[in-house]
Amino acid sequence: MKTVFPAAAPTLIPVVGADAAFPVRRIYCVGRNYAEHAKEMGFTGREDPFFFSKPADAILYVPEGETGELPYPPRTSDLHHEIELVVALGSGGRDLSVEQAAACIYGYAVGLDMTRRDLQGVAKKLGRPWEVGKAFDFGAPMGPIYPVERTGLLEKGAVTLEVNGQPRQKGCISDMIWNVAESISYLSGLFELKAGDLIFTGTPEGVAAVVPGDLMVGAVEGVGELKVKVVA
């Protein structure tokens, strides 16, 4: 059927070493998945994983070696960085076992779960949804996808972020409270997962604010580097 106006273009992320792109379906994010970050946000212990979403068109794709420009979002004065390993699914399903979940992984990328912390704080306090804090335009910068054939299953490796050359965040994939396969497995009990889904797997400690002019350089060992400048 014809559309009454042109349909929005799908979000496509280039795949390293391939001449085809990864079409994004949904973006799920895991909350408080590193113990030290959970502590800095005022929580302790191994609670069940919880999730929130961002729209696929919130992605700001940044080719490796280039510097992306992130427009400082409106209605905030406390924009935080959260550097994260992003997992891309090549297949999905419901109620996946941990082993089945691992087999759904297509590849990995470096991503930033940018957060309007002040708006998220108000939402938490009032028991409101997190969308205004998390799901804003350009709120999900990420680099290209490295297929799992190139990286192997990532069970360890540094997750780091520098701002203007100064270290801000440093963690290890092995420090996750719920590892990647466990998170996918749990998530598949809540939603039917499908090829094209991305999962931002949580951030290590050290989240803090950025302002226009700041240059963020994030990295996940084996998955490259992500450079993003905040612009007014």
Binding footprint of Mn ion on the chain (CB under 5 A):
82, 113, 203
Q: In this complex, which beta carbon is closest to Mn ion, that of residue 68 or of residue 139?
A: 139
Tell me how far, at minimum, the Cβ of 149 lies from Mn ion, in Å: 27
Q: How far is CA 80 from CA 70, 75, 114, 138, 139, in A?
A: 12, 13, 6, 13, 10
User: What is the C-alpha to C-alpha distance for residues 46 and 89, in angstroms, rounded to an integer?
Assistant: 25
Shortest separation between residue 202's beta carbon and Mn ion, angstroms: 6
Angle formed at CA 204 by CA 201 and CA 209, multiple of 5 degrees: 105
CB of 198 to Mn ion, least distance (A): 13
Nearer to Mn ion, 115 or 185 (CB): 115
Nearer to Mn ion by Cβ, of 12 and 41: the residue is 41
Based on CB atoms, which residue is closest to Mn ion, 82 or 197? 82
> What is the closest distance, in whole angstroms, from the C-beta atom of residue 206 to Mn ion in the complex?
12
Report the alpha-carbon distance of residue 184 to residue 137 in Å, rounded.
25
CB of 140 to Mn ion, least distance (A): 10
CB closer to Mn ion, 11 vs 203: 203
Q: 15 or 207, CB closer to Mn ion?
A: 207
d(CA 64, CA 227): 8
Q: Which residue is nearest to Mn ion (CB)?
A: 113
Q: Which of 62, 71, 114 lies closest to 213 in space, CA to CA?
A: 71
Q: How far is the CB of 52 from Mn ion (least distance, A)?
A: 9
Cβ distance 186 to 48 under 8 Å? yes
102 sits in which H/E element: helix 98-103
Contact 225, 68 (CB under 8 A): no
